[in-house]
């Protein structure tokens, strides 16, 4: 162990080094000439190691203390259970929206409503810039819950099987924390409670209704059964694929199968189209640029000796870049129409764009993803942050990420003891609720640190 005189000498040398590096900037802050003083404070604190004995910064320990208070934990879990019992599908989230507004009223938080039918946008802070967004989706799925527990869905055929009940509860928990720490906020946190993520592209309608007004960056979390409870996962760049669907009607001329030359066979044309679609990825795409085209539906006639007038085929396509995604869309239509013409048929391809079933890729801004990683180090520790692989799933958070810098990340809810091991959209989906207060703290820390660093 070093002697006390040696330790004092070492601390003195560290201070001299820091003073030399930041002396001019610190002086300009004191004189009111430096607009980046908040960021400078963070930088100096980081270099001086201003952390508690557990390695967490003061703001993080204070936020965690609020989130982990027994009353807060009880309230967040209670909110999640109430929402879980009464699931509502896309654009039907009226009771969920009402519950959110009641909670915001209780906290004394201002909000706008309705946006996109049932959406709510709340604001906490100074009311001025910078503005940072936090988003939670509200809608459930048309699934019959198979988990037998005290707070099982009370609505037949509907279930929160993707964790959106947890997302709302965590963001309401964050609202409570941020309101209690409003005097620390160097700007404004904007909380978006969004409808219709699963169907209907609620994000796009929220944007159309002005939900992103003034917001400079936005963040969202999704529960994940792939990671242990409270582990945070993300990655810079493409995280989730762009996703589209197609349905093609290939029309020929029906007739008896025993005299096929009197017919124009759409089954043959459709079969050729299915085979040709397979080459779009295997022969036209860069092998290092992951893409998917899958035909999942093929409907012809219902008689064994009659060639039908038409065949309907459909499927999905996915890619991690907008360029690849929209190129796939273009080529799918070309291939189906072209193959139909080869066999003397006609084809019409519908991509459901009017119904809002095109999702662009979700791409994490590099700086915003770094912010998630830094906050993870503060809240859960660097050892509980994982860089995840991209997934072919899709998210309408991608519409926000197309407009402003954004980051989408996961919080683990996997606990084998509790049985929370099933993937989203499973009737057996459940979560480890111990992740909820950590998620609330993480939301709050994301906002507070962002505002402090960008004031």
CA distances from 437 to 64, 115, 221, 440, 450 (A): 8, 27, 13, 5, 20
Q: What is the pLDDT of residues 393-407, one digit of tens each?
A: 999 999 999 999 999
Asked which of 1-5, 209-213, 451-455 is least confident by mean pLDDT, the reply is 1-5
Query: Token match 């967490």: residue?
Result: 56
Contacts of 62 (CB under 8 A, 6+ apart): 181
* Mean pLDDT, the chain, integer: 91
Name the nearest CA neighbour of 369 among 208, 236, 173. 236
- The pair of structure tokens assigned to 305 is 């000796």
* Residues 178-229: tens digit of each pLDDT: 999 999 999 999 999 999 999 889 999 999 999 999 999 999 999 999 999 9
Q: What is the pLDDT of residue 130?
A: 98
Counting every residue, how long is the chain? Answer: 455
**pLDDT for 398-438, tens place per residue?**
999 999 999 999 999 999 999 999 999 999 999 999 999 99
Can you give the pLDDT at residue 199? 87
- Strand order from edge to edge, sheet including 242-251: 291-299, 310-319, 242-251, 346-350
| Cα dist from 235 to 240, 241, 453, whole Å | 10, 13, 21
Q: What is the pLDDT of residues 28-76, one digit of tens each?
A: 444 444 434 433 343 443 333 334 445 468 999 999 999 999 999 999 9
pLDDT at 116 over 80: yes
Q: Which of 7-21, 226-240, 369-383 has the lowest mean pLDDT?
A: 7-21
Cβ distance 113 to 97 under 8 Å? yes
Residue 356: its pLDDT value, please?
Answer: 72
Query: What is residue 357's predicted lDDT score, i.e. its pLDDT?
Result: 80
Q: Are 224 and 162 in contact (CB under 8 A)?
A: no
- Residue 23 confidence class, pLDDT cut points 50, 70, 90: very low
Per-residue pLDDT at 4 exceeds 80 = no
| pLDDT over 90 percentage in the chain | 85
How confident is the model at residue 63, as a pLDDT?
98
Q: How far apart are CA 240 and CA 226, in angstroms?
A: 15
Express the helix, strand and coil content of the chain in percent, nearest 5 each.
40, 25, 35
- Distance separating alpha carbons of residues 387 and 366, to the nearest angstrom: 13
Mean pLDDT calculated for residue range 80-98: 98
For residue 112, the surrounding DSSP H or E stretch is strand 110-115
DSSP H helical ranges for 380-434: 398-401
Residue 85 has pLDDT above 60, yes or no: yes
Helical segments of 244-349, H only: 266-277, 279-282, 322-342
- Separation CA 206–CA 115 (nearest Å): 6
Rg over CA atoms, the chain: 27
Q: What is the pLDDT of residue 141?
A: 98
Closest alpha carbon to 291 in 249, 332, 250: 332
pLDDT band of 291, cuts 50, 70, 90: very high
Residue 138 has pLDDT above 60, yes or no: yes
User: What is the rounded end-to-end Cα distance, in angstroms, of the chain?
Assistant: 42
Judge contact between 202 and 96, C-beta under 8 A: no
* pLDDT band of 246, cuts 50, 70, 90: very high
Token pair for 228: 């242990």
Element (H, E) at 265: none
Give the C-alpha separation, 12 to 27, whole Å: 20
Higher pLDDT pick, 26 / 117:
117
| 212 Cα distance to chain centroid | 16
Identify the pLDDT of residue 14.
47
- Tell me the pLDDT tens digit for each residue of 316-356: 999 999 999 999 999 999 999 999 999 999 999 999 988 87
């Amino acid at each position: 162990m070093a002697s006390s005189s040696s330790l004092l000498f070492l601390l003195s040398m560290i201070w001299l080094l820091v003073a030399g590096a930041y002396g001019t900037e610190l002086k300009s802050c004191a004189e009111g000439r430096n607009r980046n003083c908040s960021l400078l404070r963070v930088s100096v604190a980081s270099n001086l190691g201003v952390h508690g004995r557990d390695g967490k910064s003061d703001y993080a320990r204070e936020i965690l203390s609020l989130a982990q208070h027994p009353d807060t934990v009880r309230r967040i879990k209670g909110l999640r259970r109430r929402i879980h019992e009464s699931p509502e599908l896309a654009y039907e989230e009226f009771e969920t929206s009402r519950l959110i507004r009641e909670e915001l009223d209780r906290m004394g938080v201002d909000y706008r409503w309705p946006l996109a039918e049932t959406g709510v946008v709340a604001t906490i802070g100074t009311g001025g810039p910078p503005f940072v967004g936090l988003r939670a989706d509200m809608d459930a799925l048309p699934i019959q819950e198979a988990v037998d527990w005290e707070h099982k869905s009370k609505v037949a055929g509907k279930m929160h099987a993707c964790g959106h009940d947890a997302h709302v509860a965590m963001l309401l928990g964050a609202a409570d924390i941020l309101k209690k720490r409003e005097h620390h906020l160097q700007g404004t946190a904007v909380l978006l409670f969004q409808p219709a993520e699963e169907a209907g592209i609620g994000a796009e309608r929220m944007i159309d209704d002005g939900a992103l007004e003034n917001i400079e960056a936005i963040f969202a979390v999704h529960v994940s059964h792939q990671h242990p409870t409270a582990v945070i996962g993300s990655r810079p760049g493409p995280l989730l694929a762009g996703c589209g669907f197609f349905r093609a009607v290939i029309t020929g001329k029906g007739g008896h199968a025993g005299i096929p030359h009197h017919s124009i066979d759409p089954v043959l044309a459709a079969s050729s189209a299915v085979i040709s679609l397979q080459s779009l990825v295997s022969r036209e795409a860069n092998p290092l640029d992951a893409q998917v085209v899958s035909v999942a539906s093929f409907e012809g006639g219902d008689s064994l000796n009659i060639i039908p007038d038409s065949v309907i085929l459909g499927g999905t396509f996915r890619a991690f870049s907008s360029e690849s995604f929209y190129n796939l869309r273009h080529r799918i239509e070309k291939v189906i129409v072209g193959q139909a013409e080869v066999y003397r048929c006609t084809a019409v391809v519908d991509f459901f764009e009017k119904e809002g079933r095109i999702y662009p890729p979700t791409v994490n801004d590099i700086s915003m993803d770094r912010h998630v990683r830094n906050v993870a180090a503060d809240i859960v520790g660097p050892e509980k942050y994982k860089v995840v692989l991209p997934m072919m799933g899709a998210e309408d958070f991608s519409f926000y990420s197309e407009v402003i810098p954004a980051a989408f990340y996961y919080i683990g809810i996997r606990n084998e003891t509790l049985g929370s091991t099933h993937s989203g959209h499973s009737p057996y989906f459940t979560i480890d609720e111990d992740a909820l207060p950590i998620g609330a703290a993480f939301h709050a820390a994301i906002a507070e640190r962002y505002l402090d660093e960008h004031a």
